[in-house]
Amino acid sequence: MDLEAPKIKSAEEFFYIQRNYQKQYRDNNRFIVICGDTGCTARNSKAILGNLDRCLKEKDLSETVGTRFTGCLGLCESGPLVIVYPEEILYHRVIPDDMLEIVEETVLEGRIIDRLIYRDPSSGEKYAYARDLPFYKKQVRNLLGGNWKTDPTKIEDYIALGGYEALVKAVTEMSPGEVVQEVKEARLRGRGGAGFDAGLKWEECFKASGRKFIICNADEGDPGAFMDRSLLEGNPHAVLEGLIIGAYATGAREGVVYIRSEYPTAVEKIKTAINRAEELGLVGDDILGSGFGVQIYLSIGAGAFVCGETSALIASVDGRIGEPVQKPPRLVQHGYLDRPTVVNNVETLANVPHIIKQGAENYRATGTEASSGTKIFSLVGKVNNTGLVEVPLGMTLREIIFEIGGGIKEGKAFKAVQTGGPSGGCLPASYLDLPTDFESLTEVGSLMGSGGMIVMDEDTCMVDLAGYFLKFLADESCGCCFTCREGINRLLELVQNISCGRGSLDQLDLLKELAEVVKDSTLCGLGQTAPNPVLSTIKYFEDEYRAHILQNKCPAGVCRALITFEIIESYCNGCGLCKKNCPSDAITGEQKQTHYIDKDQCDKCGICFSTCRNEAILKQ
């Protein structure tokens, strides 16, 4: 690519350049995609890329076969993923040494390598082509689909696949008011958690006068959720395009991407994207000769969870302590530098180009009446296919967990699913047929949140789980409001008391009472939703709390203070494996004789339980 390409001055020039890129893309349709997202990189996908380059060089194929190191391909469970185009053959769990075989067999001979193709863990069926996988088939990958074929560092790929068309359409054919109207009609709701109508927000900012700002909120910090990061790492131009259109519609001439420093790759990718778009004249002054211009800046946050709250985010962009402030005045009136400011989530912005391109009517066809479009969930926990899934809003939890997620691992029973990150609620099996949209989830005491979805099986203790999330929130609370700082801390203390067997029924009542007070009296969303894990687990799994309190038992066998390990004499063959592995030397016994556990010395780590081959260890 010629780096000194002149800036695009008009829609005609854009389409001319696009045709060139499309021709280039079509001519080089033989390429290999390697997933470069965190999960796959952790499993050595960078070495796979290196090996592939070497193999291609050896076979003299460097000119004809392209490589793309892309963002998340979705099926993180089976990483590293490699897809061979144009056939779309998907190989999973690839190791660097497999690359030679893939080049020799698949690229040169066109044969499919049987041992590397995906096998469904529940049905055992094999799928060679990515489009056939049940995991992908049920999904509607409007936003994530781009990740498959685009190199996130190359603007050429994005433009060739129809990127920036929406921007051209908005800037050259529509007035800002029309863009706002279109987004409003599409009923695009904020994907960051609250589900506020993005069109309404834009309209209010559009009506305000003077200097305005638009901010992209990429401060994603939920444990186990990585939707925004994957979008920014896999398809940064889609987010950027949404941001530019947003600036055009709201009348903001300055845009900020607020991103946490814990996401170095995403920072790198969005930085490259902004630079490349600037070079082509899609960011900067006088975009496409329309007279509209926007400057995009990057603001790196220090990684506080609370900075995802919009007013705290603005304080952080401003260089102050990330603390939420009282609204009203609302940010669309008094935001950054006291000017009207719109803050949109990454995923919300990534939806905007789709709305402009296909029109509000078509966009509304996916999803439900009140919640239109698709939503990305990060499906994690005890499911077979963990990863990123994108589904139309309103799909039931059952479909997501059992059909896309492939059911619970090791055939265990489903117990609960937690939606909406640390401050969401846990829903039991009876709510599996609940549609996932903003209203339904809030109604039953959970949240849509930013899209975290943690699945739990029968081995999860709900008291322990509530404690885990409270611990996270106690650490991440900014500490300004007394009820949030001290309240969450006391909730944690009570929950820990119960999980240690020191609880009482009075304490359970106090826990409920305090949780309601914290929910009621705190300033920002973090504190108001923090008691959700406690309240929802008490609501749906009160039995478990009672078992901890009244019988001093942890039904799931998780809370260490309440479980004991014992060896069943008739099952023990004296192999000595447990004795060898016990870190606290609590197991005694001669070779080939029954072993015994000294309960006073036992640390309850459970290593003996998992190492015993004869199931002779009894956990109670």
Instruction: Please enumerate in sequence order all residues whose Cβ is within 8 A of that of 290, keeping only pairs 6 or more positions apart, or say none.
Output: 171, 172
User: Is there a contact between 129 and 106 (Cβ–Cβ < 8 Å)?
Assistant: no
Indicate the SS3 state at residue 615. Answer: coil
534 lines the binding site for another protein (CB under 8 A): no
Q: With CB under 8 A as the contact rule, which of the stretches 119-127, 349-357, 379-387, 512-520 interacts with another protein?
A: 512-520
CA distance linking residue 37 with residue 388, whole number of Å = 11
Where would I find the H helices in 90-235?
98-101, 134-137, 155-160, 165-173, 176-185, 198-207, 227-234
Q: With CB under 8 A as the contact rule, which of the stretches 126-134, 377-385, 414-422, 513-521 interacts with another protein?
A: 513-521
503 lines the binding site for another protein (CB under 8 A): no
State CA 13 to chain mean position distance. Answer: 37
Binders of another protein among residues 12 to 51 (CB under 8 A) are none
Cβ 184 to another protein shortest distance, Å: 24
**Lookup result for tokens 């009203």:** 328
User: Is there a contact between 377 and 451 (Cβ–Cβ < 8 Å)?
Assistant: yes
Find the binder of another protein among 16, 297, 482, 571 (CB under 8 A). Answer: 482
Q: With CB under 8 A as the contact rule, which of the stretches 3-11, 352-360, 438-446, 510-518 interacts with another protein?
A: 510-518
Cβ 192 to another protein shortest distance, Å: 21
268, amino acid identity: E
Find the binder of another protein among 233, 457, 476, 544 (CB under 8 A). Answer: 476
Find the binder of another protein among 2, 63, 506, 615 (CB under 8 A). Answer: 506
Write the binding mask 376 to 405 for another protein: x where contact by CB under 8 A, - elsewhere: ------------------------------
Cβ 475 to another protein shortest distance, Å: 5
Find the binder of another protein among 517, 550, 561, 618 (CB under 8 A). Answer: 517
Binders of another protein among residues 304 to 343 (CB under 8 A) are 304, 306, 321, 325-326, 328-329
Find the binder of another protein among 215, 514, 556, 602 (CB under 8 A). Answer: 514
Find the binder of another protein among 349, 478, 556, 567 (CB under 8 A). Answer: 478
Q: Which is nearer to another protein, 366 or 521 (CB)?
A: 521
Cβ 567 to another protein shortest distance, Å: 38
Query: Measuring CA to CA, which residue among 415, 426, 414 is closest to residue 453?
Result: 426
Q: Which is nearer to another protein, 236 or 421 (CB)?
A: 421
Helix (H) or strand (E) holding 379: strand 374-381
Cβ 501 to another protein shortest distance, Å: 16
CA distance linking residue 186 with residue 363, whole number of Å = 6
194 lines the binding site for another protein (CB under 8 A): no
Q: Which is nearer to another protein, 97 or 509 (CB)?
A: 509
Cβ 509 to another protein shortest distance, Å: 9
Find the binder of another protein among 88, 318, 458, 493 (CB under 8 A). Answer: 493
Q: With CB under 8 A as the contact rule, which of the stretches 19-27, 83-91, 278-286, 511-519 interacts with another protein?
A: 511-519
Q: Which is nearer to another protein, 372 or 477 (CB)?
A: 477
Cβ 476 to another protein shortest distance, Å: 6
**Burial of 58: CB neighbours in 10 Å, binned 0-12, 13-18, 19+:** exposed
Cβ 203 to another protein shortest distance, Å: 20
CA distance linking residue 176 with residue 250, whole number of Å = 7
Find the binder of another protein among 317, 523, 558, 582 (CB under 8 A). Answer: 523
Binders of another protein among residues 281 to 300 (CB under 8 A) are none
Phi/psi for 345 (5° steps) reads -75, 155
The residue count for binding another protein (CB under 8 A) is 33
Q: With CB under 8 A as the contact rule, which of the stretches 83-91, 262-270, 421-429, 487-495 interacts with another protein?
A: 487-495
Find the binder of another protein among 184, 276, 490, 548 (CB under 8 A). Answer: 490
481 lines the binding site for another protein (CB under 8 A): yes
CA distance linking residue 316 with residue 174, whole number of Å = 34
- Indicate the DSSP class of residue 605: -
Cβ 537 to another protein shortest distance, Å: 21
DSSP string of 82-101, one letter each residue: EEETTTTEEE-S--TTHHHH
Both structure tokens of 255: 């845009």
222, amino acid identity: D
Q: With CB under 8 A as the contact rule, which of the stretches 244-252, 400-408, 461-469, 472-480 interacts with another protein?
A: 472-480
**Lookup result for tokens 């599409």:** 186
103, amino acid identity: V
Q: How many CA atoms lie within 13 A of 278 on its CB side?
A: 11
**Burial of 255: CB neighbours in 10 Å, binned 0-12, 13-18, 19+:** buried
Q: Which is nearer to another protein, 30 or 334 (CB)?
A: 334
User: Is there a contact between 81 and 40 (Cβ–Cβ < 8 Å)?
Assistant: yes
CA distance linking residue 82 with residue 57, whole number of Å = 18
485 lines the binding site for another protein (CB under 8 A): yes
Instruction: Please enumerate in sequence order all residues whose Cβ is within 8 A of that of 128, keeping only pairs 6 or more positions apart, or say none.
Output: 89, 90, 112, 117
Phi/psi for 558 (5° steps) reads -115, -45
Cβ 487 to another protein shortest distance, Å: 7
Positions that interact with another protein (CB under 8 A): 304, 306, 321, 325-326, 328-329, 474-483, 485-487, 489-490, 493, 506-507, 510, 513-514, 517, 520-523
